Each structure stands twice: as C-alpha cells, then as structure tokens.
Amino acid sequence: MTALLPPEAVIPHRDPFLLLTEVTELVEGERAVGYWQLTDDEPFFGGHFPGHPTLPGVLMCESIAQLGAYALLSRPEFAGRLALFGGLDNVRFRRQVLPGERLDLEVDLGRVSARAGKGTGRALVNGEEACRCDLLFVFVKADPS
C-alpha cells in the first residue's frame, strides 16, 4: 500500500484554516476517509459559545469538503486546480462536537466532470454521526492570472 501524502501536499488549505489532520484511505477521485483532531486551542471555541464550547456546524461541512478536495485533487488531471464550494444540500447536524474530540470524516464522490462535481460526506465522533451533507463543487485554476 502506498503511503498517503499529508493534506498540505494535496490541498491548498493552510493554518488556521486547514481542518483536516490526516487522510487514512483514498480511492483517487472516488472516496476518501480521514479525520480532524480537535484540540482545546482552536480560537473559535472561545466565542462559540463562552462556557459551552461547540464546533460550528459550518466548519464540520468545511472539513468534509476539504477531504473531498483531497480525493479530487489527488487525480493528476486536477493537479494545480482549486475545488470551490458550489453549494451544500441536505445538511443535517446530529450531535454537538466538543474541544478535544476527533471528527472522523468520509466522503464519496459522485459525478465529476472537468468543470464541476458532486459528493456526499459524513462526520462522526466515536462512531456517532455528527454531520451529513451533499457537496456541489466547481473547479477553477489555482493561479488567478
């Protein structure tokens, strides 16, 4: 089995907005599994909510999307491109996620063309679903010039 590259080697996201710790399984352009290990140090926990820190739901969706981008951008024909959100559908939040918890992520991609595609993903904590969403994405050149 080939060693998987760290997220920073495949997707353009960087701290403080890299929400993917490691990818553990990959079928290029089709499926990926990984996780985001939360700490107690993420700055958003201080304001969301004081005294009751909770991971914002939109960041769960973003972490799922970053895993999807990893699966897509691992394909040689998409190298040097960005996968941007085109939309989110059927989003459901089912569980509060707390500081220090590990958000296990999985994404299955559906139809993908040279310009856009769709996928579906889930985020779980200890096997319990925290979030589920359908992703729509579009490709753009990474270099704006």
Catalytic-role residue among 6, 33, 48, 82: 48
- 13 among known catalytic residues: no
Contacts 24+ apart (CB under 8 A), 53-61: 53/98, 53/99, 54/96, 54/97, 54/98, 55/96, 55/97, 55/98, 55/101, 55/103, 57/91, 57/93, 57/131, 59/19, 60/93, 60/97, 60/103, 60/123, 60/130, 60/131, 61/88, 61/91, 61/131, 61/133
Catalytic residues, by residue number, are 48
